[in-house]
Amino acid sequence: MENFKFYAPTKVYFGKDEEKRVGKILKEFHPKKVLIHYGGQSAIKSGLLDRVKKALDEENIAYCLCGGVVANPLLSKVNEGIQICKEEGVDFILAVGGGSVLDSSKGIAYGVYNEGNVWNYYARKKKVKGALPMGCILTLAATGSEMSNSSVITNEDGNLKRGLSSEYGYFKFSILNPELTYTVSKYQTMCGCTDIIMHTFERYFTPYDTLDLVDQMAESVVRTVIKNAKILLEDPTNEKARAEIMWAGSVSHNDMTGDRSLGDWACHQLEHELSGMFNVAHGAGLAAIWDSWANHVYMENPTRFAKLGHRVFGLDDSDTLSCALNTIEKMEEFFKSIGMPTSIQELLKRKCTEQELYELTYKCSFEHTRTIGKFKELDETDMLEIYRMANEKEVA
């Protein structure tokens, strides 16, 4: 068995109306001034932003605002937030929104605390030494950023999307009220469900010996998401299903389903270049890539894929190779059933040019300087082949 570490310091407040307590929760940290960081109009139209401001006013907590975060959060917005924090004397950041807002908040927290250009930390040129303390109110179940140490930012200069994981990247608290996700569109809900499954898969498909308890927790998360995604397609305000998905999102990325440092992460790295170049939804990009990745690597350990098929889909095929392939097919069928693309052509509504495929590969390899993946280590030839497979798949 491989050694692992587990660290999940975020305090979670889960349930109906928990966001109303945010003022009292914040007061425990004695902030001088809070930056409320949020996305577009949904937080305003829903009244959530007003409720948050009221909760802070009632506790006499000073605050300032920084809104306008978009999907695939931008470095320019992070820099705007950093500037506001420095000018206003902010010493605590409250993220109100989905994963993009949460990730943007982490970028701001790093940029205020550490010297120089914050992009250098995402580009792995420098290591962060700390961050401003942060809390969040989650409005979209997807990225797991509310309980993970990771964040992803897009630099508009070159359309580069890069991630950063750090011990300083955890929220002090996360408020999870499933009702706040009721107004999320069907498409974005399913993108979120896909991301949750993929965070689980990135840990599940590892070359290392794993604990069966951890495997079964991961498999349970996948079964839970598959079951409740189908419910939400028909009944988007089903409280129980929304709660199941929201907690699955947190558990999938807080290392309960496996130590992230031992995971594969190739699909995420391949997808980051897709959403960096084409600004597509992250979950949709993952669905478009996964099948091609799986077919490229499954022979490294077909037993792992077969195990997933037995335990998640109830496959009874005794032939390991056949079961592994059937498992991949079952996952593709599920993604299609919830409206996710399973090819680049479906994702972009066109095929990539050969030049674009080379550019994706070049960026994914960090300009010829790295391989990706641990289940199977992928060099640039592998990366290009997976992109090509995903690009050439016929649209059903």
Within-domain flag for 2: no
Number of domains in the chain: 2
Among 181, 216, 242, residue at a domain's last position? 181
Q: What is the pTM of this model?
A: 0.96
Strands 34-38 and 63-66: parallel
Q: What is the CATH number of the domain that holds 228?
A: 1.20.1090.10
Q: Identify residue 349 by its one-letter amino acid code.
A: K
pLDDT exceeds 70 at position 315: yes
Which residues span the domain enclosing 173?
Answer: 11-181
Convert the pLDDT of each residue in 223-270 to its tens digit.
Answer: 999 999 999 999 999 999 999 999 999 999 999 999 989 999 999 999
Convert the pLDDT of each residue in 88-142 to its tens digit.
Answer: 999 999 999 999 999 999 999 999 999 999 999 999 999 999 999 999 999 999 9
Among 128, 153, 181, residue at a domain's last position? 181
Q: Comparing C-alpha atoms, which of 14, 86, 22, 92 is closest to residue 53?
A: 22
SS3 for 163?
Answer: strand
- CA–CA gap between residue 226 and residue 334 (Å, rounded): 8
- CA–CA gap between residue 335 and residue 168 (Å, rounded): 34
> In sequence order, which residues have a C-beta less than 8 Å from that of residue 125 and are 6 or more positions away?
none
**Same domain flag for 177 and 191:** no
**Same domain flag for 47 and 114:** yes
- Find out whether 194 and 347 touch, Cβ atoms under 8 Å: no
- Find out whether 163 and 72 touch, Cβ atoms under 8 Å: no
- CA–CA gap between residue 108 and residue 102 (Å, rounded): 10
Among 181, 199, 234, residue at a domain's last position? 181
SS3 for 379?
Answer: coil
DSSP 352: P
Q: What is the CATH number of the domain that holds 128?
A: 3.40.50.1970
CA-to-CA separations, 55 to 51, 81, 128, 139, 259, in angstroms, rounded = 6, 22, 32, 17, 36
